[in-house]
Structures are given as structure tokens and as C-alpha cells.
Amino acid sequence: MTAWPRAMKRANAAAYCDLSESAFEREVLEGRLPQPVKLGNRDHWCKNALDAALDHITGQGQDNEPDYRRKHREKYGQEAA
């Protein structure tokens, strides 16, 4: 897909994140990716919300390190980061 729609159904949202649908659903249930919104009585994910969540996960657009790296550093020490 060359142009991603602003609102995506589960299959497209998972593909946008380069995840299988089941992995995508796990990330949503764990709160790392946003919950869907109802449009036309179906679940859709907002591209901008996915982008913001992915930016947060990877630490893009922030001065802070990504959560997974901070947790790893806190658990194993600075040299492990």
C-alpha cells in the first residue's frame, strides 16, 4: 500500500506496524498501541495515534530514552544499555 488511510481496520493497522494481526492485538491489549475507535460500526485505528504510540515506544521526538531501554538499564545497570 503506497498511501496509508487515516483510519485503518485491524489488518491494515497491523500491516502498517509490520506486525501480524495477533501480535498487533497483543500490543493493543498491553496498552503499547492505541485502542480502536468505532467508525461505521467497525473498529478502526487512527494513523496519527499509531504514529504517536510508535514514536513513544522508540523514543522518537522525545528527549527521553525509550521505555524498554530505561527499564533494561534500571534492571541491569548503565553498562548493559
CATH of the domain at 46: 1.10.1660
Rounded alpha-carbon distances, angstroms, from residue 41 to 34, 38, 74: 18, 6, 43
In a domain, 11, yes or no: yes
pTM of the model: 0.72
Instruction: Kindly report the number of other CB atoms within 10 A of residue 75's CB atom.
Output: 8
Domain that holds residue 63: 7-76
The answer to whether the CB of 54 falls within 8 A of the CB of 62 is: no
Report the run of H or E that residue 44 belongs to, with start and end.
Answer: strand 42-46
In a domain, 68, yes or no: yes
Structural domains of the chain, count: 1
In a domain, 1, yes or no: no
Give the pLDDT confidence of 26-72 residue by residue, as tens digits. Answer: 999 999 999 999 999 999 999 999 999 998 888 776 556 667 777 88
Report residue 68 as a C-alpha cell: 524498554
